[in-house]
Structure 1
């Protein structure tokens, strides 16, 4: 089972993180949390790894709808988006919102997951479109 939606970009890491934030905002998502996995593992374990950031993105309207359908759905919020170096490219990965329906088996969450999928796909597509348009 695939649980990610991924695009690869030929842009540098910092530029990609900024572009992802913009693309998410254009689709109504705010970034509530940012976990710099690279810095955390270096500071806590003295472990070196490639650039890797987890953005906790939330669309308040979709979150409200999901929580109204099932209060436990908060365990699956916010939508995590990973930006990481992948060789000489930068990968942007979002958790497939359909996973929420698969895990909970609640049909009431299906419309929320479908809209979240449309918005995340639009954000990811805008990243690749900006690359080809530039």
Structure 2
């Protein structure tokens, strides 16, 4: 667990992923999405879709259906 400002933590996680060769391809803001679609309040919750191209390529060569699990999801809440 990491404590701090939510947006700062998202930036820090993104940077740490980058340092390990992962890029963040998508960000889904669950709090905003649920408010817009269902008009419900929810805690700050973001899904980061991260991918390391070399790892993804290697995994896809071994099993082409692994694409259902790409990109890798990381949550910040």
The TM-score range, normalised by the shorter chain, is: over 0.9
How many matched pairs?
Answer: 77
**Structure with bigger gyration radius:** 1
Runs of 4+ in 1 over 3 A off after TM superposition: none
> Where in structure 1 are there 5+ consecutive unaligned residues?
1-7, 85-134
What TM-score do you get using the length of structure 1 for normalisation?
A: 0.57
Instruction: Please give the secondary structure, in 1, of the residue aligned with 2:76.
Output: strand
Name the structure 1 match of 2:18: 25
1:9 is displaced (CA, Å) by 1.2
1:65 aligns with 2:58: yes
Q: 2:44 aligns with which of 42, 51, 75?
A: 51
CA distance in 2, matches of 1:12, 1:69: 40
What TM-score do you get using the length of structure 2 for normalisation?
A: 0.97
Cα RMSD (Å) of the superposition? Answer: 0.5
